[in-house]
Structures are given as C-alpha cells and as structure tokens.
Amino acid sequence: MTEKQIKRSDVPVELTWNVNDIFTDDQAFQQGVLNLNNFSKQLSEHKDTVVNSAKELLDTTKLLVESEELLGKVYGYAARVNDSDTGDARGNELYNTAMLSVNDWEAAISFYEPSITILSEEQLKNFIASEPDLKQFEFNLNRIQAQKSHTLTPELEELLAKLQPAIDDAAEISTKLDDTDLKFGTYTNDDGQEVELTKERVFDLQTNEDQKVREAVSRKMDEAYHGVRNTFAATLRNHVHSQNILAGIRHFDSARQMNMSENDVPESVYDSLIEANHKHLDLLHRYYELRKKVLGLNHMYDYDRHVSLVKGTKLKFTFDEAKAIAKKALKPLGSDYLAHLDDEFDHRWIDAAENEGKRSGGYEDDVYGVHPYILLNWSDTYSSTSTLVHESGHALQSVYTDLAQPSWYSQYPIFIAEIASTLNESLLNDYMLKQYADDPKVSAYLLTQILGDFVGTVYRQTAFAEFEHFIYTADAEGKTLTPDLMADKFNGLFEQYNGPAVEAPDWDRDTWAYIPHFYYDYYVYQYATSKAIAVSLANDILNQKPGALDRYKEFLAAGASDYPINIVKKAGIDVTKTDYLDQAFDVFEDNLNQLEQKLNEL
C-alpha cells in the first residue's frame, strides 16, 4: 500500500493558520471584496482632479492608502486559503475573485503616480507646505517623482494595469504545474512501503546516507521536470520577454535596471556580488573536495551535497521541539522579540503540515492590521527548524515595522527582506554549536549544515542571479529561450561553481525549471547580499557590540520609510562597497577550518 500525502481536511487545526483573523468567514470576505470594488470606483472619480490642489492630493492619497490596507486583507485571506490546497475549488474561486478585485483596483489607481510626476518639484513642495497632513506621505511622493522619466501617461498606465493579469499568467501557470500537476512517482522506504514522493520528501531523502537512495529519488524528480521542460520553458520565456518589453516601454535600458531602480540600488551591487563569488570559488571547491574525501565517494554528484559528513548523526526535531529551540536561539534579540515570537507560536500564524495540493516551500506574508502568516511544509529535520527560524525573522520584522510605521510604509523593500530571516539563521547556528561544543560528531554535523546553508544562500543564489541575468540579456538580444539553451547555461554555471569534485549525473537535468524565484524579477541576488549583511550584524549582536542591538531594532522597524541602502547603512553596512562580502567569505572559511578540525577529532 502506498503512503500518500494527507488531505487538507486531515491536518490538525493547531497546525493550520487562522485565516478568520482576517475575515470571520467567506461571507465577510465577499463583503470586503464589495468594499474594495467601491473604493476603486471612488478612486476613479479623482482621476482628473488629483493634483488640482493640495487638499485634493491629500484626499486622494488617504483614500488610496485606506483601500490598499483593505486590499491586503482581501488578497491575504484568499491567498492563504488557496495556498493551503491549490487543487481545492473553494480556494481557487476565492483567489480568482480576489485577483479580479485587486486588478480592478490597480487599474483604478493607475492614474495616481503619473499625475504626481506632472507636478514640478516646487509645486509638490508647495503642496506639502500648504497642507501639513501631506507631510506623512512625503517620502513616497518624492520617491514617485524620482521615477518621473519612467512613468507613462495616466492612460498608458491604466492600460498596463489592465494588462497585468495577462503578464502575470506565466508565473501562475508555472506555479499550478509545479505545485499541483507535477508528480514525482513513489519510492520504497526501509520498511518496504511505497511512499509518494514530494519535493520536500526528495530534499529530505537527499540527506539519506545511502547514495543509491539519493540517486534514485533525485533521478525521479529530474525526470519529472525534464518531461514537461517545454511547458516550463514557455512560461519562463513569456515572463522574461514581458519584463523586457515593460522595461523598454518605461524607458529603461534593461529589465535589471528597471527592477533595481525601484529601490534605488545601483546595478554595480549586482555585478560586485558575482565578482566576489568568482573570487572566492576556491573555498567552495575546497569544501566539495573535503565532502568527497570524507564521504569516501569515487564519484560525487549534486544530490550528494546535503548528506551529513558524520554517519549516524542526523538531528531531528518535532515542530514543538523546534519552536522551543527557536526561542532559546533568538534570546540575544531581547525579551520584547521573544514576546512577539510567543504570539506567533501561540496564535496560529503558522501553517505547518505538508498536505496534498499545498503550495510547496515556505514563505511569510504580512496582513497589515492583523498579523503575519507563515507557510511551512514541515518535516522533522534540522533544515525545517532552520526554515522556521528564517520565516519567523520575516514575521517579526513585519511585526516591528507594523508597530512603528503606518500602512503605506509597512511593506519593507525586497532588498532588505532577507536580512532579518538570515540573521535569525546565524543566531540559530551559533546557539546549536554552543550546545554541542563538546561533541565533535554533532559539531561536525552542524558545521556541515551551516556551510551548506551558506553555499545555498550565497554561492547558489549568486549562480541563480548570474543565470537570471543571462536569460534576460539573451532574450533582449533576440535569442529564443529554449530548454536546451537554459539547461546548457544553468548546468554550465554549476559546473563552474561546484568545481571538479562534483560531477554531472548521467541523465538530463532541467534544474532551472524548479526555481520559482525566476518569476520574481531580479530577486535572487538579494538572498546573497542579505546573507552577507546578516552575518556581519549577527556577529555584532552576539559580541554585544555597543548599540548593535538597538540599531538592529531600528532597522526592523524602518519598513519602507527610506531607501533600503540608507536603512542598511544606518545599521552599519555600506552595500556600495565590497567589505561586507569579503567578511562573509571570511566567516565561511573560518567555519570550513572548524569543520576540518572537528573531523580530525573523530
């Protein structure tokens, strides 16, 4: 008999998130949709008058931010229900209803930013001076004006807003294929039982000490993706091409420039990250050579990257045990931080269990005025414990931001979104190493996890970023993004990054196809920069550097009240320089030295 994923209806309620904190039921949600649609109609009435006077601009802006807060609740409720089981008809209906309303709202407010860019800087200053209540929106208004040369006429902005659902379709189709329709088959476990494979189970089994098991499940997953490679290539090609077209329409030189300019991040930060990784590839090659030697493998493959170097040592924690560990590991962040963490754990902010049709992976999404929500697909592994701590970092940044900022400054920029999460990982790693300091076996296991996390967050995400820039550039040059072109580039990059110790398997691989972040538009590089920033900030907090914790709390509370580079600079890191990257690689090298020492003690 085959062991299958449990159905959503069988998941214990305490392991599910409470969407009724947003709306009490579907009827209340439908009323929220009606209210949002009414806001859209009201906003449309301001289309031709928004900048006629300071008072009109204030009234329109207040209406916009009030409606946007409601929009967050409408989307948040529907998305949580849908992500719980992407194959469920109710969730799909709620989500489609929400998105129709969201798209109408976006079309309704499309006049707002173009209208502000019509004002001169002097006119905007005079508006703010004559209507003091506009002061609270000043940074946003100035940020909009800074994009004046890339903002279209109100008519064209409205047209693009109406086209947005079609532009987003590629990502949606890819998600449905990946999370709902794609199947990986089964495998036979140690008890002789047939078990249905999922992404999370494959990743878990890639830590199995038997290379044949790792090979078998990895082959099945790769074959599944290879079997639908043309569909994945079509969706990604469509998305990339759409972004390149949008960049041209908005008078940007490239899609990368368009996406990075939104947060005022210089493109040099992207290029410096790739250069720094290439500069330090010798450390990654050394790490993989060590893995191959310790594991005693004649041939080592990508699916061997996660197995413990110490046989018989595999830390496993239940969800409840992991929550207790998280509270101890994050203690350096103070009692106020732990109190917020208790709220998260005790009041069903988390959807933990993996179930049939549930969206894969993990994420955090904040609903302003309610609380953050966290999606997990739990397995009793150290990796899941780390993911819990990671997503809690996002959630607590949302909590601190929401307490300190109004709704219009609550959505902290993507560039800094991964700092709080990866800093939490650093604190977890430090705590766990101290707990097992006298046990070289477990210490070696943990160091393997820490090094693997760095590889996955810095080296691997940078390789993703290099691939992402390649496909955008290739499309802009008129090349067709075929599955072969993308596979050759992606696999070639990983041969370069992994070095000679890691060989390619004897089957076709389309690993590029299962990276959903390629639909997030130049997002992945920020994982690497955030990790490097977080390592530095965590070290300052752990070493009790004067003012470090207070500066970090100010960082958590800053939200979108300033450009991200300025927010990070106030916390002590200048990302326009490369010092923080070199420091991060120094930490990696130090951990690698420690691992070699612990292995020698065995």
Question: Where in the sequence numbering do the catalytic residues fall?
Answer: 391
Give the Cβ contact number of residue 302 at 10 Å. 20
**Of the candidates 247, 270, 200, the residue with the CA atom closest to the CA atom of residue 523:** 270
Task: Report the C-alpha gap between 419 and 258 in whole angstroms.
Answer: 22
- Give the total residue count for the chain: 602
Q: What angle do CA 498, 520, 570 make, to 5 degrees?
A: 85
Q: Which two tokens stand for residue 532?
A: 């490097």
Strands 186-188 and 194-196, bridge-based pairing: antiparallel
User: What's the token pair of residue 110?
Assistant: 């499309």
Tokens of 560: 């979108």
- The residue type found at 152 is L
Helical packing angle, 525-542 and 267-279, nearest 10°: 70
Scanning the structure block, which residue is given the tokens 């310790």?
Answer: 294
Integer CA distances (angstroms), 220 to 192, 229, 389, 486, 502, in order: 18, 14, 30, 20, 20
Residue spans of alpha helices (H) in 197-228: 199-205, 211-227
494 by DSSP, 3-state: which? helix
Cβ burial 170-194 (10 Å sphere, 16+ → b, else e): bbebbbebbbbebebebbeeeeeee
Collect all residues with Cβ–Cβ distance below 8 Å to 270 and sequence separation of at least 6. Answer: 256, 260, 465, 469, 522, 525
At residue 102, φ and ψ (nearest 5 deg) are: -65, -45
Q: For residue 250, which of 262, 242, 241, 258 has the smallest C-alpha distance?
A: 258
Distance between CA atoms of 113 and 148, rounded to whole angstroms? Answer: 9
